[in-house]
Amino acid sequence: MNRLRAIAGPLLATATLVAATLGVATPAAASTTATLDVATPAAATLDVATPAAAAPAGLPGMDVSSYQGNVNWSAAWNNGARFAYVKATEGTYYTNPSFAQQYNGSYTVGMIRGSYHFARPDTTTGAAQANYFVDHGGGWSKDGRTLPGALDIEYNPYGATCYGLSQSAMRTWIASFVNQYQARTGRWATIYTTTDWWTTCTGNYSGFAATNPLWLARYAGTVGALPAGWSTYSFWQWASSGTFPGDQNVWNGTLDRLRVLACNGPC
């Protein structure tokens, strides 16, 4: 999800805290953002093969974070976007300052939208982060326009790929998050990941496939191998830029089927 760009806000908040602690000046926001405003990370990081020459089959959509700021949602709608995922939170320390404009704006133009949480398994428990997410924009309502919240669990932009957790501990952390999210909202969270990260950091665990929709990130002409247990994907993030602001996605189905996911059945 344009990971280095998306973490500009959290890093600036961290820098401010450190500066206050050490008694030094706070780094300028423009400077911090400029440092992180880099090209798409290396292919190995994003499961990139040959980039897709055109949008794959499916219902077009997008995901955005604070990096996109105020989005022109009418333009995105007119260009064909019918759903959006919006970053709400990270860890238990960060909320997207553009969340209200992005989350409400996408809804206002007619999109089906949801929010996502960037996981930090190295900081607090899965349950604590699920609660933080729900309390800061990650809830769900059966209005036919709100997707279940998504857990963005992937490469660590701050350090060790698997956040210092063993495969067993990572599986436990994810279970803690999705179980608490389900307890709070009645929905199973969508899981955003890559097949490479999932294999490396969970041991290619198949136990969530029966309940949690898969949102796969792979910048390539084909979706490729899926993580164990999932026979198909629900969402595919196939490019980091394109027609819409933010990352480019497709829903693996029709608009009517997306409404079924939003409603958790008939509305």
User: pTM for the full model?
Assistant: 0.85
- Per-residue pLDDT band for 53 (boundaries 50, 70, 90) equals low
Catalytic residues: 63, 152, 154
Average pLDDT over residues 98-110: 98
Query: Cβ contacts of residue 230 below 8 Å, gap of 6+?
Result: 206, 209, 214
Q: For the ranges 35-49, 78-92, 97-111, which has the lowest average pLDDT?
A: 35-49
**Cα–Cα distance measured from residue 36 to residue 4, given in angstroms and rounded to the nearest whole number:** 6
Maximum pairwise Cα distance, the chain: 57
Check whether 135 has a pLDDT greater than 60.
yes
- Per-residue pLDDT band for 72 (boundaries 50, 70, 90) equals very high
* Best CA proximity match to 112, nearest among 183, 62, 72, 151: 62
Q: Taking the CA of residue 11 as centre, how many other CA atoms within 13 Å lie in the half-sphere pointing to its CB?
A: 20
* Best CA proximity match to 198, nearest among 161, 235, 223: 161
Distances (CA, A) of 17 to 11, 27, 155, 204: 10, 11, 24, 37
Average pLDDT over residues 21-42: 32
CB atoms closer than 10 angstroms to residue 266: 8
